Amino acid sequence: MDFLEKTISRHRSTGILVDSNLLLLLFAGLCDRSLVTRMKRLNAYSLEDFDLLVSFCELFERRVATPHILTEVSNLSEKGKEPVLRMFFEFLSRHFAELNERYEESALLAKHALFVSFGLADAGICKTSEDGILVLTDDLRLYAALERRGAPAVNFNHLRMWLL
């Protein structure tokens, strides 16, 4: 737990960047808790995971995102005529504006060391982490790559275990 407390303390003011799947979980649950169990893309998560995610994110003064993450969240979201899904996109349109969005040109990210192996969104995450922004992800491969680079990162699966 000591590692976690130090990590939170060190990054409280610089902020947290939540990776795409977890950000989808966060927004879905904040919009309507029932979406956590209804959205197909969120099958790997529970309401307890959502509650843990909310509690952890509240420890940070700023929430950071990249346009690539927000695009992935939008693309991963279920679209449809069901009122709750329309409501979810209306929710996204309001809450995207509350994030501190970090933009880096795609052409520059394509030159990043992680681009070839991980793609554009993850290269953007790594680039953003270089500014001392803590990354929260459940992607073990990305987490390991960030750790090897000395970037601040927490794996959500580890967070689950630490806080049990």
pTM equals 0.92
| Structure confidence by residue, pLDDT tens digits, 32-60 | 999 999 899 999 999 999 999 999 999 99
pLDDT at residue 164 in the model: 59
pLDDT surpasses 60 at 1: no
| Average model confidence (pLDDT) across the chain | 91
Residue ranges of the domains in the chain? 2-162
Compute how many other C-beta atoms are within 10 angstroms of the C-beta atom of residue 62. Answer: 15
| 63-65 and 100-101 beta bridge pairing | parallel
Q: DSSP string of the chain? A: -HHHHHHHHHHTTT-EEE-HHHHHHHHHHHH-THHHHH-GGGTT--HHHHHHHHHHHTTSS-EEE-HHHHHHHHHHS---SSHHHHHHHHHHHHHGGGSEE----HHHHTTSTTHHHH-HHHHHHHHHHTTTPEEEE--HHHHHHHHHTT--EEEHHHHHHHT-
What average pLDDT does this structure show over 131-138? 96
13 pLDDT band, cuts 50/70/90, is: very high
Compute how many other C-beta atoms are within 10 angstroms of the C-beta atom of residue 98. Answer: 10
| Region of poorest pLDDT, from 124-128, 138-142, 157-161 | 157-161
pLDDT at residue 154 in the model: 96
Note the CATH architecture for domain 2-162: 3-Layer(aba) Sandwich (3.40)
